[in-house]
Amino acid sequence: MNLSRLRVFRLWRVMARRFRQRLHANIERMRTTDQVFMISAAVLIGVLGAGGAIAFRELIMFIESVAWGGGLYDRVSLTTLAVLTVPTAGGLIVGVLIYFSTREARGLPDVMEAVALRGGRIRPRVAVETSLATAISIGTGLSVGREGPIAQIDAAIGSTFGRLTHVNVHRMRTFVGCGAAAGIAATFNTPIAGALFSLEVILGNFSFSRFSPIVISSVVATAISRHFLGNQPAIIVPPHGVNHPLEFVLYAVLGILAAIVGTLFVRALYGVEDLYGKVPLPDYLKPMTGGLLVGALALLYPQILGVGYETMDRALFSELEWQFLLILVFIKIAATSFSLGSGGSGGVIAPSLFVGCMLGGAFGALVNHLLPGTSATDGAYALVAMGALVSSTIRTPMTSILMIFEMTGNYELILPLAISVIVSTALSAYLLKPSVYTLRLLRRNVDLEKGQETNILRSLNVGQARVTSFETIPPQAPLDDLMSRLAESTDTEFYITDDEERYQGTVTFDRIRSLVAYGEDLEGVIVAHDIAQFDLPTVNDGDTLDRVMLLFGRHQVNAFPVVKPDSGRLVGVISREHVMDAYNRETARRDLAGEFASMVDTLSGGQVVQLGDDYAMVEIHAPRRFIGSSIRRLQIRSRHGVQILLIRKREHRDSQANHVGPAHRACQANRSGKANPADHADQAGRAHFVPTPDYVIQEEDVLLVAGERDRIDRIVHL
Give residue-wise pLDDT tens across range 476-528. Answer: 777 767 777 766 766 777 888 887 888 888 877 766 666 665 555 556 567 77
Q: What is the pLDDT of residues 346-357, one digit of tens each?
A: 889 999 999 999
187, pLDDT greater than 60: yes
By C-alpha distance, which of 229, 31, 7, 99 is closest to 659? 99
SS3 105: coil
Residues 112 and 647: their CA atoms lie apart, in Å, by: 23
The better pLDDT of the pair 45, 443 is held by 45
Q: Where are the alpha helices (DSSP H) in 205-285?
A: 208-229, 246-277
- Give the helix/strand (H/E) hosting 532: none
Asked if 390 contacts 312 with a C-beta cutoff of 8 angstroms, the reply is no
Asked if 43 contacts 220 with a C-beta cutoff of 8 angstroms, the reply is yes
CATH homologous superfamily for the domain 601-716: Regulator of K+ conductance, C-terminal domain (3.30.70.1450)
Cβ partners under 8 Å of residue 9, min gap 6: none
Name the E strands within 432-563.
472-473, 493-497, 503-508, 559-563
By C-alpha distance, which of 273, 258, 534, 297 is closest to 420? 258
Q: Which CATH class is domain 247-282+299-450?
A: mainly alpha
Letter for the amino acid at 683? Q
Asked if 330 contacts 277 with a C-beta cutoff of 8 angstroms, the reply is no
Between β-strands 503-508 and 493-497, what pairing exists: parallel, antiparallel or unpaired?
antiparallel
Mean pLDDT, residues 353-375 taken together: 88
The ranges assigned to domains in the chain are 1-28, 29-229, 247-282+299-450, 462-580, 601-716
pLDDT at 264: 96
Q: What is the pLDDT of residues 679-715, one digit of tens each?
A: 444 443 445 677 777 788 888 888 888 888 778 878 8
Letter for the amino acid at 126? V
Asked if 134 contacts 346 with a C-beta cutoff of 8 angstroms, the reply is yes
Convert 642-656 to b/e letters by CB count within 10 Å (16 or more is b): bebbbbbbeeeebbe
CATH homologous superfamily for the domain 462-580: CBS-domain (3.10.580.10)
Residues 49 and 467: their CA atoms lie apart, in Å, by: 50
**CA distances for 659 relative to 99, 264, 271, 570, 663, angstroms:** 6, 26, 18, 42, 11
The backbone region for 451, taken as left when phi is positive above 0, alpha when psi lies in -120 to 50, beta otherwise, is left
Domain 29-229 has CATH 3.30.565.10: no
Residues 466 and 350: their CA atoms lie apart, in Å, by: 49
Mean pLDDT, residues 127-140 taken together: 88
- HSE at residue 333, side-chain half, CA atoms within 13 A, is 25
SS3 551: helix
pLDDT at 593: 57
Q: Where are the alpha helices (DSSP H) in 371-527?
A: 378-394, 397-408, 414-431, 436-442, 451-459, 479-488, 509-513, 519-522
Give CA 706 to chain center in angstroms: 33
- Nearest 5°: phi and psi at 497? -130, 155
The model carries a pTM of 0.69
Q: What is the pLDDT of residues 53-62, one digit of tens each?
A: 999 999 998 9
Asked if 574 contacts 562 with a C-beta cutoff of 8 angstroms, the reply is yes
pLDDT at 472: 81
Count of C-beta atoms within a 10 Å radius of residue 223 = 16
Asked if 331 contacts 337 with a C-beta cutoff of 8 angstroms, the reply is no
By C-alpha distance, which of 48, 398, 415, 385 is closest to 190? 398
Between β-strands 493-497 and 472-473, what pairing exists: parallel, antiparallel or unpaired?
parallel
Residues 48 and 346: their CA atoms lie apart, in Å, by: 21
Mean pLDDT, residues 11-38 taken together: 67
SS3 347: strand
Count of C-beta atoms within a 10 Å radius of residue 278 = 6
Residues 526 and 543: their CA atoms lie apart, in Å, by: 35
SS3 363: helix
By C-alpha distance, which of 407, 310, 304, 421 is closest to 360? 421
Cβ partners under 8 Å of residue 459, min gap 6: 544, 586, 677, 678, 681
User: What Rg do the C-alpha atoms of the chain give, in angstroms?
Assistant: 30
According to the per-residue pLDDT averaged within each range, which of 12-21, 401-410, 610-619 is highest? 401-410
Task: Name the average pLDDT for the chain.
Answer: 80
Q: What is the pLDDT of residues 82-128, one digit of tens each?
A: 889 999 999 999 999 888 776 655 678 888 888 877 778 888 888 88
Asked if 49 contacts 186 with a C-beta cutoff of 8 angstroms, the reply is yes
- Give the helix/strand (H/E) hosting 709: helix 709-716
- Give the helix/strand (H/E) hosting 25: helix 2-30
SS3 490: coil
SS3 495: strand
32, pLDDT greater than 60: no
Please tell me the least confidently modeled range out of 260-264, 329-333, 351-355, 433-437.
433-437
Is 29-229's fold the same as 247-282+299-450's? yes
